[in-house]
Amino acid sequence: MQSKAEGVLLIIGGNEDKTGECHILRTFIEKAGGREAKIAVLTTATQMPEEVGIEYKMVFEWLGAEVVDIIHVADRPRAFDQHLADHFSMYTGVFFTGGDQLRLTSILGGSTIEQAIKQTFARGGVIAGTSAGASVMSHTMIVGGDSSETPKKATISMAEGMGLIDKVVIDQHFAQRGRINRLLAVVAQNPNVIGVGVDEDTALLVEASGKCHVVGSQTVTILDGRQIVHSNISDSSLFDPLAITNVTLHILPDGFGYDLHTRRPYVSHK
């Protein structure tokens, strides 16, 4: 129920501010070392790597980072490039852009580059991801599902993620795309997993201690199913409506936090 190493995760719900105060991206740079920050912008998830990479490079340089490199790993052979992987030893922060989380896992999964990213995290680096780059951080990630219907088994499809955080499943663009139904289905299937729904222009900053802080203009929704009393998830068909009772729900704006160990929210003192 915590990040698996000594680093910090910044889980961003998508569409974060890049032209105003840039509160979320500024937090990323500050956590990565401020004016000594050395950042890798990983554009694997997007179909527009040059355009998206340049946009983030300009923002991070404006926010004061010392080094910002755009790294596009477009295929499996590139993901096993040892020379490229060796570069990650210098980075204090890695940023996953949005796009398609299955591109990230299918290209990077089990590769030399993935191991290099995890080593950056293990030595205290900051791993940030927006939209698809947020979903990929957990062991099991949501890769699709209809968020407009009544909750049911068929609401979601899942795949293996990068495993940077334990016993958590992340959904993004959460309130804006009405995705609470599919996160409820996740929690019903495994009540020990904490469902984390992150709104746009909002992030959850996860420290190695398991303490989390909400950053941004909207909210983070936490679903805790440990106290579920009744659920029909094992008895229902794929398209039957989901029955689930006694789910604990927290909605947390900036200034609030959540402890993954105690599963309790708190007023954050960042």
CA 132, CA 130: separation in Å to the nearest integer? 6
Q: What is the mean pLDDT of residues 102-125?
A: 97
CA 177, CA 156: separation in Å to the nearest integer? 14
Confidence band, pLDDT 50/70/90 cuts, at residue 155: confident
pLDDT at 9 over 50: yes
Helix residue spans in the chain (DSSP H): 23-31, 49-62, 76-79, 82-86, 101-108, 112-122, 132-135, 180-189
Specify the range with the lowest mean pLDDT, choosing from 3-12, 126-135, 182-191, 219-228: 3-12
Q: What is the mean pLDDT of residues 213-223?
A: 98
Q: What is the pLDDT of residue 1?
A: 40
Q: What is the mean pLDDT of residues 190-216?
A: 97
The larger pLDDT score, comparing residue 4 to residue 250, is at 250
Q: What is the mean pLDDT of residues 169-180?
A: 95
Nearest Cα to Cα of residue 25 among 53, 63, 58, 72: 63
Q: What is the mean pLDDT of residues 208-223?
A: 97
For the record, the structure tokens of 149 come out as: 């219907």
Nearest Cα to Cα of residue 134 among 175, 108, 98, 178: 98
Q: What is the pLDDT of residue 151?
A: 82
pLDDT at 12 over 90: yes
For the record, the structure tokens of 214 come out as: 């909400």
Domains along the sequence of the chain with CATH = 8-263 (3.40.50.880)
Q: What is the mean pLDDT of residues 19-38?
A: 98
pLDDT at 175 over 80: yes
Catalytic residues: 131, 149, 173
For the record, the structure tokens of 242 come out as: 């989901």
Hey, which residues does 206 pair with through a beta bridge?
Answer: 9, 212
pLDDT at 77 over 90: yes
Q: What is the pLDDT of residue 268?
A: 79
Backbone angles phi, psi at 217, to 5 degrees: -95, -15
pLDDT at 4 over 60: no
Q: What is the pLDDT of residue 269?
A: 63
Confidence band, pLDDT 50/70/90 cuts, at residue 270: low
E strand residue ranges, the chain: 8-12, 38-42, 67-71, 93-96, 126-130, 140-144, 157-160, 168-172, 194-198, 202-206, 211-216, 219-224, 248-253, 256-259, 264-267
The DSSP secondary-structure symbol of 3 reads: B
Nearest Cα to Cα of residue 18 among 9, 8, 29: 29
Hey, which residues does 127 pair with through a beta bridge?
Answer: 9, 94
Strands 140-144 and 219-224: unpaired
Which pTM was predicted?
0.95
Helix (H, G, I), strand (E, B) or coil at 97: coil
Confidence band, pLDDT 50/70/90 cuts, at residue 54: very high
